[in-house]
Amino acid sequence: YIQDPLLEEFIRETIDANPQLKVMLSEYRASIQQIPQVTALPDPMMTFTQFIRSPETRVGPQTHSLMISQRFPWFGKLDLHGKVAVREASARYEQYRGYERQLAARVKDTFYELGYLDRSIEIAREEQLVLEYYEQLAQTRYATGGGLQHEVIKVQTEITRAIDRLSVLSEQRNAAVSRLNTLRSRRPEEPIAVIASIEPPPLLFNLDALYSLGESNRPELRAALDGIEGNELGVELSRKGYWPDVTLSAGLINVDGREDPAGRALPPPDNGKNVYNFSVGINIPIRRDKYRAAELAAGERVVAGRDRYDAIANEMRFEIQTQANRIETLSRQLDLYERVLIPQADSALRSVETAYETGLTGALDLLDSERVLLNIRLAQERFVSDYMQALSRLEFALGTRFPQR
């Protein structure tokens, strides 16, 4: 969903600076480099042999030999290794994206909590000013004989409580600022400006559509799918183990010409001609139990991957439904507070203020009405913060922003 520009900046700073995210990105990049490694042929082998006692032949002694061999894995093995590596790299990337979204959700949660505290501090300061005005009224009434001293003391007590509430809220704000700065890899005491008022967006829910959106976008689910596909390819690869690899070799044996008297006197045909050879070899996969065990292990990994996917999907659907229900409940509460409770409490307070100024009621009624309005306003700000935090958790469950249509 469209976010506050300051929140977007905080999220970007957190993602850019987080060391664990950098580790995961490096591991993903390293996994990409596995692909050309596992798809390449094994290095060829060169063998040089020097004869200590040269074998004598009709055309001369053999002094040394040179052989080059290359092993070729059975058809499809290298391709399957590459596909498995691709799926592993893709899963690492999705894990990276999942942690990235987790960080963003933590920043949002703290940001909205900070917004609630800023609004609460503002309300608490307004309350203190109102109470100080009430104190002046009480002092005036007491001085003119229209009021009692205990009313003045009661108002002063409420002012002290308001100052203490403001102190507690300020301490909570400092803790939230430290938490947000820590996420941004900044010094905990670095100041953060007052968060602007937040207007909760109206939302409509279609759970089936949200479930489908989550299945398409949730990084953890995409990583689990990559794992399933990689394990299925692993089963196919393990079955290739029953087939042999082929080794092709080509060699040269150096032959010196005959230097004995008979050879010099009457050189034989092809005197000193080198010998060339070509050979084909295969390994013999006779350890059938080993390959069968590898196939069974790969199959179990497929089953585990599917169960892992189902577990993540079930948890995702639960979280989507939970947060959607919470948002709908909070939306109704906010509507009730805005349309009914706050206007009623404000109207009641204005009426009691008028009655107090004319001497028709006492300070206790005035303070009770003021306290009711204060609690309703604080509760409204709490609901706004809870609403936005629930939306953030819903978007985390979806793996993407909430659709605006």
Q: What are residue 49's DSSP bridge partners?
A: 65
SS3 67: strand
Exposed/middle/buried for 374, CB within 10 Å: 0-12, 13-18, 19+? buried
Tell me the C-alpha distance between 134 and 276, whole Å: 112
C-alpha 193/C-alpha 189 separation (Å) is 12
Q: Please, what is the end-to-end C-alpha distance for the chain in angstroms?
A: 11
- The two tokens of residue 274 are 């080198």
Ramachandran region, residue 185 (left: φ > 0; alpha: ψ -120 to 50; beta: rest): left
> In one letter, which amino acid is 201?
P
Res 208: pLDDT: 95
Residue 272, phi-psi category: left (phi > 0), alpha (psi -120 to 50), beta (remainder):
left
SS3 57: strand
pLDDT in the model for residue 126: 94
Count the alpha carbons within 13 Å of 82 in the hemisphere toward its beta carbon. Answer: 9
Written as six digits, the tokens of 106 are 């933590």
Kindly report the three-state secondary structure assignment for every residue of 206-264: CHHHHHHHHHHHCHHHHHHHHHHHHHHHHHHHHHHHHCCCEEEEEEEEEECCCCCHHHH
264 torsion bin: left (phi>0), alpha (psi -120 to 50), beta (else): alpha
Contact 155, 356 (CB under 8 A): no
- The C-alpha atoms of residue 346 and residue 35 are separated, in whole angstroms, by 68
Give, to the nearest 10 degrees, the angle between helix 363-398 and helix 288-336: 150
Selection from 331, 325, 323, 329 nearest residue 397 by Cα: 323
Taking CA atoms, 302 is separated from 3, 88, 130, 299, 398, in Å, by: 40, 14, 67, 5, 25
CA distance 185 to 20: 12
Which residues of the chain fall below pLDDT 50? none
Backbone angles phi, psi at 133, to 5 degrees: -65, -40
Q: Supply the pLDDT for residue 42.
A: 94
Check if the beta carbon of residue 247 is closer than 8 Å to that of residue 70: yes
- Amino acid letter at 217? N
Q: Residue 332: its pLDDT value, please?
A: 96
| DSSP 3-state of 276 | strand
Predicted local confidence at residue 405, as pLDDT:
58
Residue 204 token pair: 């409509």
Q: How many CB atoms lie within 10 A of CB 54?
A: 15
d(CA 302, CA 309): 11
User: Radius of gyration of the chain from Cα atoms?
Assistant: 40
Q: What are phi and psi for residue 218, nearest 5 degrees?
A: -65, 115
The pLDDT of residue 2 is 57
Question: What is the pLDDT, as a whole number, of residue 57?
Answer: 85
